Structure 1
């Protein structure tokens, strides 16, 4: 049975979207993947879409979602380093990845964040597979 994972940050426009993209591409056999934000935002950041496309992950159809748009309970709640208190979502396990938001910075910052997120998603998938 797949584990539900939710990647959450403030706007659901960059880091949590990249995490969702990687998790769907790399872990669709073991993960049911969601991402959401705590505040409404009009679009996924073009820089995030661009660098994920460079890595072979299509996020052109992604759009920001709110906490209310995802399941009320998940197995894993991953926050991105919001610097805010993320809302409580019932879960078996939660962790904060403490990632800097590359928004507004050079494209290289988006690439660094993309690569860090990929490593963290790969580690999460490994842990899910090892612990059933």
Structure 2
């Protein structure tokens, strides 16, 4: 079984969404973790808009990358430029490191409809990436 770490700045939104989708598409082929270089708590809109697509992330927790010290990573995926640039060193010499920046929908300000559109757009981008990642590396 592969170990996959998904990193974002606050582990509240994008990394949580990616964890939900990659776990969904990977099935029993991998253990999926998400973490942040900070912890900001689980974003309620991320939970809401993932549930809208049938993925329940409501029991996820916001974790700091240091909490997973000692796990032998097969993949480390950063999902925001900030985490990619500021992530502490993770000793995983054999891990394949991937980076894909996704727009942070939690930063969008506007009407409820504009916020919903931002979350749905980012969700769909993460879903497509996650499906491709699972098919390419975990099948």
TM-score between both structures, scaled by the size of structure 2: 0.85
- Structure 1 alignment gaps of length 5 or more: none
Task: Give the distance between the partners of 2:56 and 2:80, measured in 1 at CA.
Answer: 24
Q: Aligned-pair distance for 1:22? A: 0.7
Runs of 4+ with >3 A deviation: none
Match of 2:112 in 1: none
Q: How many residues align?
A: 128
**Which stretch of structure 1 is more off in the superposition, 18-27 or 5-14?**
18-27
Written as runs of structure 1 = structure 2, the 5 A alignment for 1:10-29 is: 10-29=9-28
Report what 1:50 is aligned to: 48
In structure 2, C-alpha distance between the alignment counterparts of 1:67 and 1:28, rounded to whole Å: 23
Q: Structure 2: any 5+ residue segments left out of the alignment?
A: 109-114
Contact 2:12/2:42 (8 A) holds in 1: yes
* Greater C-alpha Rg: 2
- Compared with structure 1, are the counterparts of its residues 5 and 124 closer, same or farther at alpha carbon in structure 2 (3 Å cutoff)? same
Q: Which TM-score applies when normalising by structure 1? A: 0.89
More helix by share: 2
Task: Give the whole-Å Cα distance in 2 for the aligned partners of 1:87 and 1:119.
Answer: 27
Match of residue 112, structure 1, among 121, 126, 139: 121
